[in-house]
Amino acid sequence: MTDQQWVPGAPEATCLHLDCLWQPSEDDPAGRFVFELRNTGAMPVDGFRLAFTTLRFVERDPSANNARLLDRRGYFHEVAPPDGFRFVSGGVWRFSLGGITGEPLHRGEGIVSAYLTEADGERRTVAVGDLRREFPEQRIASGAASASPFALMPWPANVELMPSDRIPGYLVPADGATAEELSAVSSVMALFRRLFPTDPAPFSLMALPGDLLLRFAVDASLGREAYRLEFGADAVLITTADAAGCQHALMALGQLLRGARAGDGFRFPAGGHIVDRPRFAWRGCHLDTARRFFPVGDIARFLDCLAYLRINVFHWHLTDDEAWRLEIGGYPELTSAGSLRGPGAPLPPQLGDGAQASGGFYSHADVRALVSHASHLNIEIVPEIDIPGHSTAALAALPALADPAEPAGAYASVQGFANNALNPAIDLTWTMLEAVFDDLATLFPSPYLHVGGDEVAHGAWQSSPLAVRLMADLGLDGAEALQSHFMRRVQAMLRKRGRQLAGWNEVGNGEGVDAEGTLLTVWQKAAIGAGLARRGYDIVMAPAEAYYLDIAHSNGWDEIGMSWAGATSLETAYAYEVGDDIPAEILPRLRGIQACLWTELVDSRAHFNHLVFPRLAAVAEAGWTPAANKNWERFSMLNRFRPSM
Ligand code: ACM
């Protein structure tokens, strides 16, 4: 995207959390900073130093309590605990510093960033909370409570809440919380701070008067991703069976508090409960990073947005005609040549490209950072290498992939790319794919590797003498039969690596592949999905007419976006009900639903936000909320709380 990125890479998962309280003091005219550093990791940390930055820097005589100031230059500080301090898992180091330069007036004038240096020199990022101070007065909610005063998104399965006219300060784990529970709260706090940097964070790990305590319980009978919240006057009880459920519970709490702070009739609950579980196990969103390159920081932020909406599968479209974006060991040309477009570059300029060549690809280190970020957010990344069609970039990077006797322009894809299918009669196709699947299986823990399979041109391979001979040898008739053969061989390669095949619905064309363990993303007519499910394929429904986010919101001339699948207003996206398309007897094959964003026209952050949000929230609610609980009026009122890029 064109805008500058604030975060250069994926935020690191942290297992340390620093809170800071500003306190008035008789000895210090500008008051003191009281710090609490928590070890939210599973291991003790010894012999460390803590570095942090703050605008309100500490001057020469810090009158330090329970800490030594080792260094201070500008806004940078480094402190150490007293000798012999043992920082156990779940433990806290409290210390304070005086001598600060002026009384802070805003919550952003506390700790801006922090890291810890271990005895062996290893550095670790520390999550930081809002600067806290004590307020004598209770916060009162503003505006008359609206008809649906709880800012929850997606809406839960079961909500029985009484609105409060008071707003808690921060949501804080009660004493006795485990390191894992503290870490969960710290992570969701960090997510809110990244998504909504101008809002106060909902969570803190430092309890002050006016805060609401969080207590945690485990109930294995709740099931995956489920949670229960019971609201009392002094505490909320969070019951879950797994880490994803805990994240969803904390997200709901953070949303409730963010809504109540926004006023306008939104409230935090005074009592009652939420009992919630997902409608579908697969709540996906696809992003085409081939047509448009998104820096790692943008993908990381998109993952944050998905986590907020409880979307738990990121379908990462990594290759297409316009570019190959994934580093592959042994085939540097795929990315050096296959990701570069422009005048004189290996690939010609495509939509949005101008006089300057541009490109970009994801290194293995980039992918590892994003996979780690996603897994920390309980999101699975399903990578897609789109084969055998949509392969112009690979063919341009490695010309030996083409049959030299196939005439130029023998066939063209629907997008106008000539001779763009990998050729199954060429040995290099298979040696290259071995390397591709080796890397995919090493980099991505998902049980599924998505291999595309969409839109292979009807005329593909018919003019390649090598492919024609292969078809004759195998007794195959036509492109569909050869594609089926191709995909069966791919399926065997994936199985050898312990992975299952995912593909677009065309993978089921003709003979298809072995349906056992295969998942198909259905983007064409819904009836195709039902037919595939009847043949034993698992399906994820991504109907272009409702869930393709690149399609324009309306047919108005001034609207922007694609039009080949009509127009999709927010209300149309919200109204689509997958249960109407998939008969009850094959529902067990329906794994879930998915939004897709193709990016041919998406050349700015503004355009991205316009297309994706708010409709992604509609897909998210369809994936999470029981059909009977969907409510357009409530949804349209709550959509203002959505995240954006
Ligand atoms: C697709 O839209 N070609 C999957």
525 alpha-carbon distance from chain centroid: 27
Among 30, 29, 32, 11, which residue's Cα sits nearest to residue 21? 32
Structural domain that includes position 118: 16-132
The answer to whether residue 189 is domain-embedded is yes
State whether 93 and 161 are in the same domain.
Answer: no
Predicted local distance difference test score (pLDDT) of residue 5: 57
Ligand 1: centre distance to CA 147 (Å): 41
Give SS3 for 601: coil
Candidate from 25-29, 151-155, 162-166, 201-205 with smallest mean pLDDT: 25-29
Indicate the Cα dihedral angle 467, 469, 473, 477, nearest 10°: 60
247 alpha-carbon distance from chain centroid: 13
Does 300 have pLDDT greater than 80?
A: yes
State whether 105 and 178 are in the same domain.
Answer: no
Which residue's structure tokens are 């500490």? 58
CA 345/CA 334 separation, integer angstroms: 13
Predicted local distance difference test score (pLDDT) of residue 1: 60
**Each residue of 131-158: pLDDT tens digit?**
999 998 889 998 888 888 999 999 999 9
Predicted local distance difference test score (pLDDT) of residue 181: 98
Among 80, 75, 97, which residue's Cα sits nearest to residue 21? 97
Total domains in the chain come to 2
Give SS3 for 638: helix
Instruction: Tell me, using a 6 A CB cutoff, whether residue 547 lines ligand 1.
Output: no
pLDDT band at residue 168, thresholds of 50, 70 and 90?
Answer: very high
**Each residue of 434-463: pLDDT tens digit?**
999 999 999 999 999 999 999 999 999 999
State whether 89 and 215 are in the same domain.
Answer: no
CB environment 536-571: b (16+ within 10 A), e (fewer): ebbbbbbbbbbbbbbbbbeeeeeeebbeebebbebe
- Give the residue from 276, 301, 318 where a domain finishes: 276
Among 235, 238, 246, 129, which residue's Cα sits nearest to residue 192? 129
* Cα-only R_g, the chain: 27
Does 60 have pLDDT greater than 80?
A: no
> Which of 288, 319, 455 should be mutated for ligand 1, with most atoms under 8 A from CB?
455
Ligand 1: centre distance to CA 319 (Å): 13
Does 249 have pLDDT greater than 80?
A: yes
Instruction: Tell me, using a 6 A CB cutoff, whether residue 504 lines ligand 1.
Output: yes
State whether 81 and 173 are in the same domain.
Answer: no
Predicted local distance difference test score (pLDDT) of residue 56: 95
pLDDT band at residue 4, thresholds of 50, 70 and 90?
Answer: low
State whether 204 and 83 are in the same domain.
Answer: no
Instruction: Tell me, using a 6 A CB cutoff, whether residue 455 lines ligand 1.
Output: yes
- Per-residue pLDDT, averaged over 311-321, amounts to 99
State whether 127 and 170 are in the same domain.
Answer: no
CA 40/CA 182 separation, integer angstroms: 6
CA 383/CA 381 separation, integer angstroms: 6
The answer to whether residue 505 is domain-embedded is no
Residue spans of alpha helices (H) in 378-478: 392-397, 427-443, 465-474
| Residue 202 vs residue 135, higher pLDDT | 202
State whether 142 and 272 are in the same domain.
Answer: yes
Inter-residue contact 159 to 150 (CB < 8 Å): yes
**Each residue of 601-611: pLDDT tens digit?**
999 999 999 99
pLDDT band at residue 73, thresholds of 50, 70 and 90?
Answer: very high
- Give the residue from 78, 107, 132 where a domain finishes: 132
Q: Which atom of ligand 1 is nearest to the CA of 544?
A: 2
Predicted local distance difference test score (pLDDT) of residue 136: 83
The answer to whether residue 479 is domain-embedded is no
State whether 170 and 239 are in the same domain.
Answer: yes
Question: Pick the catalytic residue: 390, 450, 553, 610?
Answer: 390
555 alpha-carbon distance from chain centroid: 30
Does 190 have pLDDT greater than 90?
A: yes
Inter-residue contact 388 to 456 (CB < 8 Å): yes
pLDDT band at residue 61, thresholds of 50, 70 and 90?
Answer: confident
The answer to whether residue 390 is catalytic is yes
> Which of 391, 456, 523 should be mutated for ligand 1, with most atoms under 8 A from CB?
523
Burial class (CB in 10 A: 0-12, 13-18, 19+), 109: middle
The answer to whether residue 320 is catalytic is yes
The answer to whether residue 116 is domain-embedded is yes
Q: Estimate the share of the chain in helix, then strand, then coil, as percent rounded to the nearest 5.
A: 30, 25, 45
CA distances from 290 to 50, 272, 359 (A): 41, 47, 10
Where residue 55 sits, what CATH number does that domain have? 2.60.40.290
Give the DSSP H or E segment for 282: strand 282-288
State whether 233 and 252 are in the same domain.
Answer: yes
The answer to whether residue 510 is domain-embedded is no
State whether 116 and 158 are in the same domain.
Answer: no
The answer to whether residue 615 is domain-embedded is no
Inter-residue contact 311 to 283 (CB < 8 Å): yes
Predicted local distance difference test score (pLDDT) of residue 9: 83
Q: Which residues pair with 87 in a beta bridge?
A: 45
Among 41, 40, 36, 171, which residue's Cα sits nearest to residue 110? 36
Ligand 1: centre distance to CA 1 (Å): 22
The answer to whether residue 38 is domain-embedded is yes
User: Which distant-in-sequence residues (6+ apart) come within 8 Å of 338 by Cβ?
Assistant: 323, 324, 346, 347, 393, 394, 396, 397
Does 204 have pLDDT greater than 90?
A: yes
Ligand 1: centre distance to CA 501 (Å): 17
CA 60/CA 404 separation, integer angstroms: 75
**Each residue of 547-599: pLDDT tens digit?**
999 999 999 999 999 999 999 999 999 999 999 999 999 999 999 999 999 99
- Give the residue from 276, 301, 334 where a domain finishes: 276
CA 89/CA 330 separation, integer angstroms: 43
Question: Pick the catalytic residue: 225, 321, 366, 455?
Answer: 455
Inter-residue contact 403 to 423 (CB < 8 Å): yes
CA 104/CA 56 separation, integer angstroms: 7
Helices 427-443 and 364-376 pack at an angle, to 10 degrees, of 40
Q: Which atom of ligand 1 is nearest to the CA of 548?
A: 2
Burial class (CB in 10 A: 0-12, 13-18, 19+), 192: buried
24 phi, psi to nearest 5 deg: -65, 155
Nearest CA to ligand 1 atom 3: 454
Predicted local distance difference test score (pLDDT) of residue 441: 98
Where residue 164 sits, what CATH number does that domain have? 3.30.379.10
Count CB atoms within 10 A of the CB of residue 527.
Answer: 11
* Residue type, position 465, single letter: P
Inter-residue contact 34 to 63 (CB < 8 Å): no
The pair of structure tokens assigned to 161 is 């809440």
Percentage of the chain exceeding pLDDT 90: 94
What is this structure's pTM?
0.97
Does 506 have pLDDT greater than 60?
A: yes
CA 279/CA 622 separation, integer angstroms: 8
Percentage of the chain exceeding pLDDT 70: 99
The answer to whether residue 258 is domain-embedded is yes
605 alpha-carbon distance from chain centroid: 17
State whether 22 and 79 are in the same domain.
Answer: yes
State whether 248 and 182 are in the same domain.
Answer: yes
Q: Which residues pair with 285 in a beta bridge?
A: 314, 595
Count CB atoms within 10 A of the CB of residue 435.
Answer: 14
